[in-house]
Structure 1
Amino acid sequence: MADYCVIQNSLKTTYVFRRNYLVELIAKKNKVTVLAPNDCEDSKIKLRDLGVVIPYVPSNNFAYTYLIMNLRILYLRLFKNNTYICHFISTYALTFITLLPFNKKLVVSIEGLGSFFTERRLARKVIRYLITRNNVVRVFCNNDERQSLGKPKDFVMGGIGVELASFEQSEGQSNNLIYVGRLIKDKGIYDVISVFRKLRERGVKLTLTVVGDVYKDNPSSISAGDIESLKSEFSDSILFTGYVPDVSNHYSHSDLLLLPSKREGFPVCVMEANASGIPALVYDVPGCSDAVLNNVNGYRFDKNNFLSIVSKIEFLYENPIILKELKRTSRAYALENFSISNKTFSFLNEIETRLKKV
């Protein structure tokens, strides 16, 4: 039996994305504490029902939130023999002052750098220095981030996986494209619209489902006004769903996932789509290039070349037998590579093995 402290930027995302490995840790009679801003009462209740300890951390004041988190970590380090698992570079950057010094049971999981680090060389150098200390076990989502920030023998997880049983093979052909993600520039929403507009101009009669929220605080987000304009332009050929907790039904009525993102950690939507037998069309960028194999579970395209995506979509709909086979191989690839149970086992096994060597 051991004590684990998981540090995350949100209770809501902790429940959504970490639930499986938290359950595994608790099943092994470990005590598990989660330190994260208490931003969702429902998630807090569900985590406590699993047996997770949830100390109070405010969520409405950035500076106060991370002051309290650091004080909580300091208290736990003084009085508890915890193994600490910190998710996300940004969270680690704000808590390393209490996590790093003299800590021999520290795991840092890097799941996407974000534009702050990708656009600032000095910031990358600083964070690399902080995570390559000998007392830190590093886990990466993709190979590019290991090369940028880690060491050659660091563990690359290749995504957190998905509940395969929650998704079923998409049957038939719906003539519908789907995008799932935040409605911001870096995630490729503008390129998705450009692809769809060009297809319409070429007379390709398809529909588009856009699943995701507007982000008012992000200047690159499309706005509510933009959505209304697009609805006027495309009429009932485009559907904006907003945030949807369960996307499986939308996948089951789609043929292709569009994700022309500029960079990813390891895209969950690709794993979900593939689990539904939906191939993914992505740019050949970090994260996406790790998730998609050409002609197996989708296609990769040169970054910003949305016209090549348009041409591939035209080709696939002109050749339905090829599209049908690609759907089959996408599902098969997901079954072999994207099981959350297998990913959870690998993650826990790797960190337990590596912590013994620190």
Structure 2
Amino acid sequence: MKLFVIGTLPSSLYNFRGELLQHFKGISSDINGLATGANLEDIKAVEQLGAKYIDYPVSRSGLNPREDFKTFKALQKIFKTQLPDVILAYTIKPIIWGAFAARCLPNCHFYALVTGLGFAFQRGNWKKNLLMKLVVILYKTALKNADKVIFQNPDNKQVFIDLGIVPEHKTAVVNGSGVDVKHFEVKPLPLTPKFLLIARLLGDKGIREYVKAANIIKQHYPQAVFQLVGPEDPSPDGIPLEELTKLNQNNSVDYLGETSDVRPFIDDCSIFVLPSYHEGLPRTVLEAMATGRPILTTDVPGCRETVINGENGWLVEKANVEQLVDRMTWFIENPLEWQRMADASRAMVENKFDVHKVNAELMDIMGLSK
């Protein structure tokens, strides 16, 4: 059996799907990871997991018909040459163009893993609404022959069903990508209020709200620390460093750039924050929970699955700076509650979000269980 796992970023193959690739080794010796623009270190990391790496062209953001057609033709050529038996594609472009390309393989099983609805599903001006209509049409047409469409939260699943993209009997839900609880060990909580947000510099990650809240909090609690870790992003929703600097004119937030290992930053924080507008199921939050950290996130699809209000953290309304400030203040004024919430976070991860449990569910959905 030849297995293909298709993403966009090479690092996501080993950071987010690494355990799954290793899991596949139990049923196949021919596992392949597809992404774009890998360097030698990326390729080595994928190969160390027991998979071959195959590069293909794909633009992560925007709709450029010429570039997207190149992606489709490249995948079609790879499929015709390699003849995979099972394909698992995740994120929008690999799912859509991978599904179309897979039609050249009548006996191949295609599975789509929807890791979030993304910028394309956020309503707004006429351009955003037009983009959403186009993406819905592409998804619906592409996924017509998919064996299963797998979601990371029930809200995203319902959106696809309500929009007529996919019938309910073809859908399934898993608890995110999971997290390796051995790789993310419990660490002692710092004694000072130190907030951390790890995310790409995108508007819909709540970066602007986080900085605005930090500006307000620092006026009243100068001892509080706010950190931000993550790379710039080329998508239309990206926040340039120039804008971040302007927002952060009071230097309330320490921007620490991007990293290949989030653990030292999570270890050093006392409260993890993700004010996102939407998620599939946020991996960084799971990693913080596994480390034993209280969580402050938004009451939106994906994020709300990670928090029981008052037990392991708090949920706030998206894009609501006032509520963010209120709950940050609560954390600062109630340090004796941190450990209780940290313990609850770790227990929730072990019970619900362990990567081995999630991968077993995926294997079962794909009919690959031993």
TM-score (norm 1): 0.87
- Whether the 8 Å contact between 1:279 and 1:297 is mirrored in structure 2 is yes
1:82 aligns with 2:88: no
Separation of aligned partners in 1, 2:206 and 2:245: 19
Do residues 148 (structure 1) and 159 (structure 2) align? yes
Question: Helix, strand or coil: the match of 1:352?
Answer: coil
The CA distance in 2 between the partners of 1:128 and 1:182, in whole Å, is 25
127-136 vs 193-202, which moves further: 127-136
CA shift for structure 1 position 81:
5.5
In structure 2, distance between residues paired with 1:133 and 1:319: 52
Do residues 298 (structure 1) and 316 (structure 2) align?
no
Which of 240, 246, 249 is equivalent to 1:223? 240
Corresponding residue of 1:183: 201
Which residue in 1 is equivalent to 2:211?
A: 193
Structure 1 residues 238 and 35: CA distance shift in structure 2, 3 A:
closer
Q: Secondary structure at the match of 2:227?
A: strand
What code does the residue aligned with 2:56 have? V
- Aligned-pair CA distance for 1:32: 1.1
| 8 Å contact kept, 2:193–2:331 | no
Separation (CA, whole Å) in 2 of partners of 1:252 and 1:51: 30
- Looking at structure 2, the residues matched to 274 and 50 of structure 1 have their Cα atoms a distance apart, in angstroms, of 25
Superposed displacement of residue 67, structure 1:
2.7
1:325 and 2:340 matched: yes
Q: 1:152 to 1:299 in 2, by over 3 A?
A: farther
1:111 counterpart (90, 115, 123): 115
Shift of 1:99: 1.5
C-alpha displacement of 1:65: 4.5
Is the 8 Å Cα contact of residues 259 and 282 (structure 1) preserved in structure 2?
yes
Please give the alpha-carbon distance, in whole angstroms, between the structure 1 residues aligned to 2:277 and 2:291.
24
Range with greater deviation from structure 2 (267-276 or 104-113): 104-113
**Residue ranges of structure 1 left out of the alignment (5+ in a row):** none
| Match runs of 1:54-69 below 5 Å | 54-58=53-57, 62-63=67-68, 64-69=70-75
- TM-score normalised according to structure 2 size: 0.85
Secondary structure class of the residue paired with 1:27? coil
Secondary structure of the residue aligned to 2:189 is coil
Partner of residue 136 from structure 1, selected from 120, 144, 147: 147
Give CA deviations for 1:280-301 in whole Å, capped at 9, x if unaligned.
2112111112222212222111
Q: Mean Cα displacement is larger for which, 261-270 or 288-297?
A: 288-297
In structure 1, C-alpha distance between the alignment counterparts of 2:359 and 2:328, rounded to whole Å: 34
Q: Secondary structure at the match of 1:274?
A: helix
Amino acid at match of 2:75: M
- CA distance in structure 1 between the partners assigned to 2:243 and 2:149 by the alignment: 41
Partner of 1:169: 187
Separation in 2, partners of 1:219, 1:134: 30
Q: Name 2:14's counterpart in structure 1.
A: 15
**Would you say how many aligned residue pairs link Structure 1 and Structure 2?**
348
Structure 1 counterpart of 2:62: none
Helix, strand or coil at the partner of 1:54 = strand
3-state SS of 1:108 partner? strand
**Contact 1:316–1:323 under 8 Å retained in 2:** yes
Q: 1:32 corresponds to which residue?
A: 31
Partner of 1:4: 3
Q: Mark the CA change 1:127 to 1:299 in structure 2 (over 3 Å): closer, same or farther.
A: farther
Matched with 2:63 is none
Corresponding letter in the other structure for 1:39? A
Q: Structure 1 residues 52, 189: CA separation in 2 closer, same or farther (over 3 Å shift)? A: same
Name the % identity: 22
Equivalent of residue 276 in structure 1, options 286, 291, 294: 291
Give the stretch that moved more between structures: 67-76 or 136-145. Answer: 67-76
Alignment CA distance shift 1:213-1:35 (3 Å): closer
Distance change in 2, residues 1:129/1:250 (3 Å): same
Deviations 1:284-325 (A, max 9, x none): 111112222212222111222221121122122222222221
Greater mean deviation of Cα atoms: 67-76 or 116-125? 116-125
Corresponding residue number in structure 1 for 2:98? 95
Bigger mean CA deviation after superposition, 204-213 or 64-73: 64-73
Q: 1:300 to 1:151 in 2, by over 3 A?
A: farther
Provide closer, same or farther for how the CA distance between residues 205 and 104 of structure 1 changes in structure 2, counting only shifts above 3 A: same
d(CA) in 2 for partners of 1:219, 1:152: 31
